[in-house]
């Protein structure tokens, strides 16, 4: 892909691999200009994918980048909860507007459209996948340096639709220390390779807990397998997130923008270097 890619093949004379997807890629809203799209994925649920998405968005915004989150986890949206968002998204003459967080991160999630936050989404796969795609095409995102897409777990309809219709520049894959999860996350890595999307980093959540008395790292779920997985698939950038009660409380209370920690600084540095 060209460094100055506008994701609009019709107005571009460059020859690149993205042209093979020309018939499938969907244009963002005409009032949106999105430079980089980063998907955050996992092989299974419950490993902290939404947490990693939120933390990376906050870190990027702190560095002065215009940042957005597209919550593609339609049946299990948790991004609004982490940011304490309760205001509903509003539609204007030209489209739907995302909701801004306290610090100015743009967010679109199904929970910002339903009447009640606890309303279940009892939809079949094609409708769920289509909604994720509409968040790309129908939302007026404005100027965005980094858009993070919080993907649903697994390798089903929604990830496939997103990968085929949205020009994802790279993936962050989230896992946890258990060997079973390590095996499942390889499925996500293999899917990324099948779709020709680079994996920028692997993040291991719940990697350890720090003893409050001696400061020793305790591996509650056993020894980490992240190094082996990353090496096997040629992923050079890894990060580990601890089990941190303060971080969990910040998510539950909608205060994720106030978190303090450097665990993902290296991942953000990788993303910024790819953005140059």
Residue 11 pLDDT: 47
Structural domain contains residue 211: yes
Instruction: Please state the separation of Cα 192 from the chain's center in Å.
Output: 14
Structural domain contains residue 115: yes
Widest Cα–Cα separation across the chain:
62
The pair of three-digit structure tokens given for residue 138, joined into one six-digit string:
């129908």
Structural domain contains residue 164: yes
Residue 231 pLDDT: 87
Q: Exposed, middle or buried, 133 (CB in 10 Å: 0-12/13-18/19+)? A: middle
For residue 258, the domain's CATH number is 3.40.50.300
What's the rounded Cα separation, in Å, for the pair 262 and 195?
Answer: 31
Structural domain contains residue 44: yes
Sign of the C-alpha dihedral, residues 3, 187, 72, 70? negative
Concatenating the DSSP letter of every residue in 110-142 gives GGGTSSSTT------HHHHHHHHHHHHHTB---
- β-pair partners for 37: 147
What's the rounded Cα separation, in Å, for the pair 151 and 132?
Answer: 9
Range of 161's domain? Answer: 40-275
Structural domain contains residue 32: no
Structural domain contains residue 13: no
Helix (H, G, I), strand (E, B) or coil at 167: coil
Structural domain contains residue 117: yes
Beta strands at 199-204 and 170-175: parallel, antiparallel or unpaired? parallel
Residue 55 pLDDT: 97
- Locus of tokens 């339609």: 74
Give the number of domains in the chain: 1
Residue 4 pLDDT: 59
Structural domain contains residue 70: yes
Residue 169 has, within 13 A of its CA and on its CB side, a CA count of 23
DSSP 89: P
Residue 14 pLDDT: 54
The pair of three-digit structure tokens given for residue 84, joined into one six-digit string:
């304490």
Ranges of the chain whose pLDDT falls below 50: 10-11, 13, 15, 19-21
Q: How many CB atoms lie within 10 A of CB 47?
A: 24
Residue 185 pLDDT: 75
- Locus of tokens 């858009």: 147
What's the rounded Cα separation, in Å, for the pair 99 and 131?
Answer: 17
């Amino acid at each position: 892909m060209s460094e100055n890619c506008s994701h609009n093949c019709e107005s571009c004379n460059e020859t690149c691999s993205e042209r093979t997807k020309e018939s499938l890629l969907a244009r963002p809203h005409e009032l949106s200009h999105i430079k980089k799209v980063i998907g955050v994925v996992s092989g299974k649920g419950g490993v902290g994918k939404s947490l990693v998405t939120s933390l990376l968005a906050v870190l990027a915004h702190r560095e002065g980048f215009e940042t957005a989150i597209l919550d593609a986890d339609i049946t299990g949206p948790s991004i609004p909860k982490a940011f304490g968002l309760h205001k509903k998204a509003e539609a204007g003459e030209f489209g739907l507007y995302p909701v801004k967080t306290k610090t100015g991160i743009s967010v679109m999630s199904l929970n910002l459209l339903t009447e009640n936050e606890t309303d279940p989404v009892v939809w079949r796969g094609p409708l769920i996948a289509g909604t994720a795609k509409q968040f790309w095409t129908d939302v007026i995102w404005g100027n965005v340096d980094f858009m993070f897409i919080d993907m649903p777990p697994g390798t089903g309809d929604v990830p496939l639709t997103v990968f085929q219709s949205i020009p994802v520049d790279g993936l962050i894959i989230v896992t946890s220390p258990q060997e079973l999860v390590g095996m499942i996350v390889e499925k996500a890595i293999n899917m990324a390779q099948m779709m020709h999307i680079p994996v920028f980093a692997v993040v291991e959540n719940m990697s350890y807990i720090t003893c409050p008395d001696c400061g020793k790292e305790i591996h509650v779920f056993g020894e980490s397998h992240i190094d082996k997985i990353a090496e096997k698939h040629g992923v050079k950038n890894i990060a580990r997130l601890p089990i941190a009660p303060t971080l969990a409380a910040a998510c539950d209370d909608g205060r994720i923008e106030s978190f303090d920690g450097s665990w993902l600084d290296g991942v953000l540095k990788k993303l910024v270097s790819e953005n140059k």
